[in-house]
Amino acid sequence: MDMHTVVSGEGAKRGLERVVVGDGRATGVTAADVVAVARRNARIELADEAVAALAASREIVDALAAKPEPVYGVSTGFGALATRHISTELRGRLQRNIVRSHAAGMGPRVEREVVRALMFLRLKTVCSGHTGVRPEVAQTMADVLNAGITPVVHEYGSLGCSGDLAPLSHCALALMGEGDAEGPDGTVRPAGELLAEAGIAPVELREKEGLALLNGTDGMLGMLVMALDDLDTLYKSADVTAALSLEALLGTDKVLAPELHAIRPHPGQAASAANMLAVLKGSGLTGHHQDDAPRVQDAYSVRCAPQVAGAGRDTMAHARLVAERELAAAVDNPVVLPDGRVESNGNFHGAPVAYVLDFLAIAAADLGSIAERRTDRLLDKNRSHGLPPFLADDAGVDSGLMIAQYTQAALVSEMKRLAVPASADSIPSSAMQEDHVSMGWSAARKLRTAVDNLARIVAIELYAATRGIELREGLTPAPASRAAIAAVRSAGVEGPGPDRFLAPDLAAAEAFVRGGALVEAVESVTGPLA
């Protein structure tokens, strides 16, 4: 099981069992549909409207194929070879060849959920009626997904322009009964064998169909949608851990007052401050910042938590807007227009998606960075306002959480490297015909790693903050904090005490955060967080 299958964001809580493609909605599918198919194996059905749109666009392609004039993608070669007119008897071979030659990926296998997302999104575009693909090809795509057959797709091969060509080609290859795929039992076998066992006939591609199956931004879009689902949970979790750290450090919650955030009206900032304030309601630890030594203000990592997390939330809002627009798009080249024209275009360029993927990696890195600074403050006896060094039981004999912070710092350092934009790069391809590319697939791949790291960083802050609160003897934490501590302890994450093998505790804390259990525990007291 890959890491992301255990994440449960808002989209994953909808409990979708069936997704209908092309039922008249503006987008054809929603982000929640993508998550349901990719992560929960929701069953796919084609709406009657989709089948009608497929048939209508295919009639246009068939009519153009019968004409002597060359039409790109229908009766010509591809890319830099588009100048050659292809005769009728060679066109089936042409479509098979583009799939075989473009299925040139290398490296490790891509996660099952990513492959399912990109296949589903390609099916969504095929069903838009702008690609010229026959209804039976679309139905085969749905059948393969419903059978739990997942083509083997490799890490490297997409430049994010002309779409995610190599990844989608490996998927199209499996539809032809060629290449390798993972069966519903998780075993990798020849795709032809898996199709036969599922009673699915391999597709025989006709004019334009090979090109239409591999010319889209579906891989990077699928990873964007799933990253947003993950980050929705992680940003709420980070608001909770920031509040717990504030409590453990005997900070003040006055900086979270709504009127302070209203005069700098960034919506994400206000939401994060409101979440922290809700968690801290009724705390007996906040406001004690003058007890041990004069402290006019808390450190930036505590006081500015809503500003940093809020900026990330606003970045997510922009990324969702881009994702929604892309979900409403029909990305192919050429496209079939309602008036019967088949026109070349550049809509396959991944720049809009690539930019926000990179933007999210920057925001996630900064959220991880500020969380690590709060953890370090909790462990430093000179800055923790009375907590024992490294939150150790018997400092000197015990090292406490000293090396947990090392691990957290290593994760933050990697996140900073992952925040370097992929979309700022471009390497020309196809004999300079495709002379500017987006690198959006690369941006998506590194964002997935960043999201994984962020979950670990937040988990370590949770581990330190809950221990810090429990070490504040004689002071009563907020009801929501008590609920969080009780839940994380029930999940197998131990509290204060002598040193022990720490890695299992951290792994349990990570699973607790990643699965949304921290948010659920707090919301049982606060109600829904923003």
SS3 271: helix
State if pTM tops 0.85.
yes
Q: Quick one: 209 and 230 in the same domain? A: no
Q: How far is CA 185 from CA 37, 170, 245, 309, 338, in A?
A: 17, 20, 44, 40, 42
Residue 486, in any domain of the structure: yes
Question: How far is 156 from 488, CA to CA, in rounded Å?
Answer: 38
Does 352 reside within a domain? Answer: no
Kindly state the tokens that stand for 170.
């490996």
Q: Are residues 387 and 516 in the same domain?
A: yes
- pLDDT tier for residue 429 given thresholds of 50, 70 and 90: confident
Instruction: Give the position of tokens 């026109």.
Output: 343
Task: Give the DSSP H or E segment for 229.
Answer: helix 218-248
Can you tell me the distance from the alpha carbon of 305 to that of 70, in angstroms, rounded to the nearest whole number? 60
**Catalytic option among 72, 156, 235, 406:** 72
Q: What is the C-alpha separation between 126 and 128, in angstroms, rounded?
A: 5
43: helix, coil or strand? strand
* Cα-trace Rg, the chain: 26
Task: Let me know if 355 is a catalytic residue.
Answer: no
Q: What share of the chain is helix, strand, coil (3-state, %, to 5)?
A: 55, 5, 40
Distance CA 29, CA 8 (A): 19
Say yes or no: 379 and 231 in one domain: yes
- pLDDT at site 37: 98
User: Quick check: is 335 in a domain?
Assistant: no
pLDDT tens for 262-313 read 999 999 999 999 999 999 999 999 987 655 566 778 999 999 999 999 999 9
- State the Cα–Cα distance between residues 478 and 403, nearest whole angstrom: 28
Quick one: pLDDT at residue 24? 64
CATH of the domain at 51: 1.10.275.10
Residue where a domain terminates, one of 180, 201, 216: 216
Smallest Cα–Cα separation from 247: which of 416, 489, 467, 522?
467
Residue 363 lies in a domain: no
**DSSP element (H, E) containing 474:** none
DSSP character at residue 111: P
Residue 483 lies in a domain: yes
Among candidates 148, 218, 208, 213, which has minimal Cα distance to 176? 213
Residue 476 has pLDDT above 90, yes or no: yes
For residue 79, what is the DSSP state? G
Q: Which of 216, 235, 257 is the last residue of a domain?
A: 216
Which H or E element spans position 341? none
Q: What is the C-alpha to C-alpha distance for residues 217 and 220, in angstroms, rounded to an integer?
A: 6
Place of tokens 């630890």: 285
Give 359-406 pLDDT, tens digit per residue: 999 999 999 999 999 999 999 999 999 999 999 999 999 999 999 999
Torsion angles phi and psi, residue 88, rounded to 5: -55, -40
Q: What is the mean pLDDT of the chain?
A: 92
Do 294 and 206 sit in the same domain of this protein?
no
Q: Is 262 helix (H, G, I), strand (E, B) or coil?
A: helix
Q: Pick from 166, 192, 216: which residue ends a domain?
A: 216
Contact present, 29 and 120 (Cβ < 8 Å) = yes
Same domain, 319 and 447: yes
- Cβ neighbours of residue 193 closer than 8 Å, sequence gap 6 or more: none
* Domain count of the fold of the chain: 2
Hunting for tokens 């949608």 — which residue is that? 225
Number of other residues whose CB lies within 10 A of the CB of residue 54: 25
Instruction: Identify the bridge partners of residue 151 per DSSP, sorted by sequence position.
Output: 181
Q: Which two tokens stand for residue 462?
A: 């949770």
Bridge-based pairing state of the strands 180-182 and 188-190: antiparallel
Q: Which distant-in-sequence residues (6+ apart) come within 8 Å of 368 by Cβ?
A: 411, 412, 415, 453, 454, 457, 458
- Tens of pLDDT, residue by residue over 30-70, are 999 999 999 999 999 999 999 999 999 999 999 888 888 88
100 and 121 fall within a common domain: yes
Give the range of the structural domain holding residue 148, as residue numbers without chain letter: 3-216
Chain segment 144-172, per-residue pLDDT in tens: 999 999 999 999 999 998 889 999 999 99
Looking at the chain, how many residues does it have? 530
Same structural domain, 209 and 103 = yes
